[in-house]
Amino acid sequence: MRLFLMITTAGSQFYTEHALRSFFEHTLLCDDDAFYLVDNDSSYILPSNLAGSPITLQRNKSPLGFAENVNQFIRIAQARRADLILLNNDVIFTPSWLELLEGDNPNAITAPICNLDIANTTPHRWHGILQLQDYFGHETELIAMASEYATQGSAPLSVLVLGFFVARIPYSVLLTVGLFDENFGRAGGEDFDYCLRAHLAGFPVRTIMKSFLLHFGGKSSWDGVEENVERTKRESNFQEYFKNKWGLGLYRLIFERDQTIAPPGSPLDQAFRSGNYKTAIEVLHVPKK
């Protein structure tokens, strides 16, 4: 069984309809699957042309942070022995995206790649932060490019952490690793934290290089309604919490991409290169006392 979760907000609601349409067009669902759309601030009106879709709409009485929202459904997934698939609402889904995520290690956290990871022209430019108008009129080009990745893309890549803009978390991981850490605040850092905890529990974290989605990026936060001052404060808070929880080494490696943390040829470098992330995390994990 699979439980799909998408969260919509007032600031990003114009993207939600396109995410939903592409999801149901390109996702093969099973009879026991469940799709939940969380209206985080009770502002969303489901378009009439989606009324027949198998969507369970949940309206929050007051806005919740990302981790709080997800934790509600981790508990449901645990009770139903279901995998949890997290879905941003500013995403365009493509053919076979889910089959590719599920075709890897069944006990791995898996995520696709997107335009924020790579640069591509088809000849349309798919790279960086995009708006809806960048997508309109280029729908066929996107499908063609995603299909090319599906057939010619690289093998899955084991990684230390990945962002949960779209992510599959198997039931085995949910059962062992548990809930998201809500102390990170409204949004940010909880996905990296969960990946580190998964590694320590013995579960792989993998980027599926053949699964390509369009991710507009940050439409519920930093490229949407969030003011610069608000964003700076939010990011400072969750990064400080991460630093205190995991230590300066992991913070610098993940958030600052400081490669001096694991110099070439060092035992840490060898651990990373061999995919022995658990050992590397254990060495670098020096929480603030």
Residue that wins the pLDDT comparison between 187 and 256:
256
Domains of the chain in sequence order: 2-226 (3.90.550.10)
Query: What is the C-alpha to C-alpha distance for residues 119 and 217, in angstroms, rounded to an integer?
Result: 15
Least confident of 63-77, 164-178, 180-194, 211-225: 211-225
Cβ partners under 8 Å of residue 246, min gap 6: 193, 196, 284, 285, 287
CB within 8 A of 44, min separation 6: which ones? Answer: 8, 10, 13, 16, 37, 57, 59
Mean pLDDT for the chain overall: 92
* Whether pLDDT at 226 is above 70: no
| Dihedral sign from CA coordinates of 130, 252, 262, 106 | negative
User: What is the pLDDT at residue 121?
Assistant: 65
Given a cut of 70, is residue 207 above it in pLDDT? yes
Contact status, residue 87 vs residue 2, Cβ threshold 8 Å: no
pLDDT tens, residue by residue, 109-127? 999 999 988 877 666 777 7
- The yes-or-no verdict on residue 272 having pLDDT over 90 is yes
The answer to whether the beta carbons of residues 260 and 254 sit under 8 Å apart is no
Residues recorded for the chain: 289
Q: Determine the average pLDDT of the residues in 27-34.
A: 97
d(CA 18, CA 216): 11
Residue corresponding to tokens 């958030």: 255
Q: Does residue 218 register a pLDDT over 70?
A: no
The pTM of the full predicted model, rounded to 2 decimals, is: 0.93
- CA distance linking residue 145 with residue 79, whole number of Å: 38
* 50-70 confidence digits (pLDDT tens): 888 999 999 999 999 999 999
